[in-house]
A and B are shown apart, each in its own frame.
Chain A
Amino acid sequence: MNNKPKIGVYVCHCGINISHTVDVEAVAEFASQLPNVRVAREYSYMCSDPGQALIREDIKNEGLNRVVVASCSPRMHELTFRKTLAEAGLNPYYLEMANIREHCSWVHGDREKATAKAKRLVAAAAVKARLLEPLQEKEVDVEPASLIIGAGIAGIQAALDIAEAGFKVYLVEKTPSVGGRMSQLDKTFPTLDCSACILTPKMVDVASHPNIELLTYSQVEDVSGYVGNFDVKVRKKARYVDMDKCTGCGVCAQECRLTGRIPSEFDEGMGKRAAIYLPFPQAVPAKYTIDPERCLMLTRGKCGKSPKCVDACGTGAINFEQEDEIVEFKVGSIIVATGFDVFDASRKPEYGYNDYENVITGLELERLVSASGPTGGDILIGKGDDAYVPKDIAFIKCVGSRDKSVGNEYCSRVCCMYTAKLAHLLTEKIPDANVRVYYMDVRAFGKGFEEFYDRVRREGVRYIRGNPSEVFKRGDKLVVKAENTLTSTPVEDEVDLVVLAVGLEPRRDAREIIDILRLSQSGDRFYMEAHPKLAPVDTATDGVFLAGCAQGPKDIPDTVAQAKGAASSALVLLSSGKVKVQAQVSHINEDTCRGCGYCVEICPYSAIELVTVNQFGHEALVARVNDALCKGCGACVAGCFSGSAQQKSFMDGQILPQIAALGVMR
């Protein structure tokens, strides 16, 4: 084949996105004069069907063997045009894009200068196109299984969808039970469905589904490999209870010497549990777990004459000798559904969360309202005989959200509505309660939200616009100090209970999963999706998807929708059975490589290893890239001192002439 470059240049108007600042006709005319350019055309939408047909026709009729598309960012349409080339029988990597939209027309105003810049960008792209080499995409098999990290509603839903489609699912949950945050809620807005009633059946399904392997009280230790072929290592923490023998009768917990003395995580510390515990009555699996940090036997090695739980257990399920177990398996895709933590209200000391027992968070009130909560659903503040039913109740919204002072600029998206829901539940439970809500804005954007907000206001809940500056004690009462910004009047409101509508934050241990899966974080510290609009469940790591609040604050319907989206993305991979791996991989010149191993350490995908080669009788270390693992990020290229690492399609010999053609270098 005659490989003398014959380049076709296609300049896109992008409607008027490009053509309103760049004289596209002039750019095309200029391009047609460039060396090796056979044809240069402009068209209103190159990405459209007729636009692509134009390229295909020219490849056939003019014998083009390189294509330059001057349009938008390659992030947008590089794949589109690669496909066009492939359809016309040309290697798809003979494509070079000149970004004259994001890099030019969108950021410039002066038509003349923008046109001159577009010409340079096109000239540079044409120079690089001349130097491009054909690359082959490899295919690898996909392991027909999925790992889901986190068994809240997002993880549960995704697991059920994938399992129903006939693929194996490993559902890993850190705590002893599935259910997550949703299991802590009493009712769900705006329909006031009982949270447990709609969640529990799904929890049971997850446990009984033949395709789902449930790994509760377990944590992902390590993930290696690549899309389609991840090797996963999970640590099953010792429960000190034999899962097969435990019947979940609960006698052990009644007998435990520490019964009623350990704050229950499920009840946000308001209820008490024993050292051997079931997190909540509907927990799945309904098996007990011993808290290794509290159990006397495990912390001191002694529990009276003999541990009472052991004496009480009829099936001999308790085993203090149990050890952590490492489970290893292979999966083709991974869904991260690790959820959120609520904002720590003590970081806003002005609201007195640490100082007053009648300043509580929304999630704590949720437990108080719940029939399965520490008070059996009665709204009682304080302990024992001093407990009282609050009459004057103030909610403060946006605690830890939309607040730069605590580093959370984002809106947590659920607080407005859960406040409305809790306010409604309070007026229901305490008919003579006087409830007011201090707010900055009310964001009732979802289906049925505005109607619900309206209903709550009609029920007598007063909404006062103002962000309280302080909560302090005066006599028996708490005073909420604020300014009613609608009437510009200062307010000192005496109340019995202050509820802080705390926002949602990334998990405090979010970093662990980032390190294991090489995820990115967005500015709000939640896990970052691959594209905010077009790839909202994907991540920068192929084969890893996001669901639920791990990606950003969400309510339950959005979480379920995203979980189903993540499940279907995972299924696309699993059901196709094959996955194409990056062709623009890094390559190391073993003749110049010194084997220092910097690239091995730098590579975020563990794609490079040092191998021993024979160099004229001497053993020498050199680095070698595993093409299937390489994502073409180029980190090794930047880190290599001798320039031995080069990324295909972005080699020094291709980029430097391109830069030179921009006219910034000799």
Chain B
Amino acid sequence: MVDLEKLRTVAKETISRDDVKYLIGWRQGTYGFRVTPCFIEEPGEAEQLIFSPLCTNNLASYLIVTEKLPLPRGEKPDTRKVAVMVKGCDSRAVVQQLIEQGIKREELYIIGCPCEGVLDLKKVEAKFPHILDPVAAQWGKDKIIFQLPEGVVEVPREEVLAQKCLDCRDPNPVIADITLGEEIEAWGNGEYQDVKELEAKSAEERWAFWEDKFSSCIRCYSCRNVCPMCYCKDCILDRLNPSWIYRSTNISENTAFHLSRAFHLAGRCIECGECERVCPVDIPLMKLNQKFSKEVEEKYGYRPGIDPEAKPLQSSYRPDDKEDFIL
């Protein structure tokens, strides 16, 4: 487990460095179980930082959406490092961004936080509704310990853990300049049980399932905007000429949107589950992403965001690649 004192000391040291611009971390939110990302620029602010099962946000998303305002002539861009706290899955996003040249390694300082699984706030808030005071949580052995206003409550881990964490294979950061706390033994088996259950159904049943889910989509694009791997300056799904997808929210356009999005993530999705977490209408987007992850892993033995030296799946080729999907 990450020691808070240690975390804050490291953060203080980091932010005091001359070559660090700011640090992206988590701090307690304003109410209930909410934890919010924060950008720390002064050593004094490091006291706010926390790391707990409530730190769900993937902070790697912020690395690539930094706005680069036009610079006055003669002014040099600020190329100091950005320090970022990452969980296992977040670190895979960083690696994949490095592979896709979205960021430069020398412009990053990565603080790795081994993670025992984060919570699904929808599950937690269903258990403890209407709590307004800020709540802290920490990991216990096979359980999560909440400091609720009425006292300490322990809940079995499986009951509140996010779906994606139940089968986690990468609890430890795969890339880091400094790692806080002990390494954790992975518990996931990579069997894609969730996907297999869906695959076992007939085509009609699967279509009915997705038709139901997609038809509720309001096309808020939260899933795209939160995704650490969606970074095109001009998203093809937003484009008007040519217009690949119409803006109307109907089953046809919604399906086209979600399938395009999933295809664009094939071999790139690092399974952080942010899309599913932020979806206001609870579309199980990870099932779609995981289907692709499964295909990619089974066919090509490829898992994105593991090796920064690896070539991207879509642009690498081996003579013995499987071709059985070609009709």
Contacts and interface: CB of A to CB of B under 8 A. Distances in A.
B71 A598 contact: no
B273 to A, nearest CB: 21
Given A616-B71, A639-B314, 7 more contacts: A591-B233, A591-B234, A596-B100, A598-B100, A616-B68, A621-B101, A642-B234
5 contacts: A592-B232, A594-B102, A596-B100, A641-B236, A642-B236
A47 to B, nearest CB: 33
Given A618-B68, A641-B232, A652 B315 contact: no
A609 to B, nearest CB: 13
Contacts of B242: 652-653, 656
Interface in B226-252: 231-236, 239, 241-242
B308 interface: no
B189 interface: no
A619 interface: yes
Interface residues of A, number: 26
A653 B241 contact: yes
B71 A601 contact: no
Determine the main DSSP class of B at the interface with A: loop
A521 to B, nearest CB: 10
A5 B319 CA distance: 47
A644 to B, nearest CB: 8
A639 B102 CA distance: 17
Contact of B233 (A597, A618, A642): A642
A662 to B, nearest CB: 15
A592 B234 contact: yes
A602 interface: yes
Contact of A618 (B77, B311, B319): B77
Interface of A: 511, 591-592, 594-602, 610, 615-619, 621, 639, 641-643, 652-653, 656
B151 interface: no
B70 interface: yes
Contacts of A596: 100-102, 312
A599 B68 CA distance: 24
A656 B241 CA distance: 10
B264 interface: yes
B316 interface: yes
Interface of B: 68-73, 75-77, 100-102, 231-236, 239, 241-242, 264, 311-312, 314-316, 319
Contact of A643 (B68, B76, B239): B239
A127 B97 CA distance: 41
Nearest to B235: A642
Contacts of B264: 641
A507 to B, nearest CB: 14
A511 B319 contact: yes
Contacts of B68: 615-616, 618
Given A618-B68, A652-B242, A594 B77 contact: no
Contacts of A599: 315
Q: Which of B102, B232, B241 has most chain A Cβ within 10 Å?
A: B232
Contact of B71 (A617, A639, A642, A643): A617
Contacts of A617: 70-73, 75-77
A616 B76 CA distance: 11
A616 B70 contact: yes
Nearest to A597: B101
A601 B77 contact: no
A602 B314 contact: yes
B66 to A, nearest CB: 10
A61 B124 CA distance: 79
B268 to A, nearest CB: 9
Nearest to B100: A596
A189 to B, nearest CB: 36
B99 to A, nearest CB: 9
Q: Which 3 A-B pairs have the closest CB atoms?
A: A617-B71, A601-B315, A616-B70
A632 B234 CA distance: 24
B100 A597 contact: yes
A256 to B, nearest CB: 39
Nearest to A638: B314
A653 B241 CA distance: 7
Contacts of A653: 241-242
A618 to B, nearest CB: 5
Contacts of B312: 596, 598, 601
A615 B236 CA distance: 21
A601 B311 CA distance: 8
Given A601-B312, A643-B239, A656-B242, A594 B232 contact: yes
Contacts of A595: 101
A598 B234 contact: no
Contacts of A602: 314-315
Q: Which of A598, A615, A641, A653 has the most CB of B within 10 A?
A: A641
Nearest to B78: A618
Nearest to A654: B242
Contacts of B314: 598, 602, 639
Nearest to A593: B233
B235 A639 contact: no
Given A595-B101, A618-B77, A642 B232 contact: yes
Contact of A610 (B71, B101, B311, B315): B101
A595 B69 CA distance: 18
Contacts of A639: 314-315
A619 B77 contact: yes
Nearest to B64: A594
Contacts of A591: 233-234
Contacts of A597: 100-101, 315
A619 B68 CA distance: 10
Contacts of A652: 242
Nearest to A595: B101
A656 B100 CA distance: 29
A600 B99 CA distance: 13
B234 to A, nearest CB: 4
Contact of B236 (A598, A601, A610, A643): A643
B25 to A, nearest CB: 25
B321 to A, nearest CB: 13
B233 A592 contact: yes
A653 B240 CA distance: 11
Nearest to A511: B319
B71 A618 contact: yes
Nearest to B264: A641
B231 to A, nearest CB: 6
A601 B71 CA distance: 32
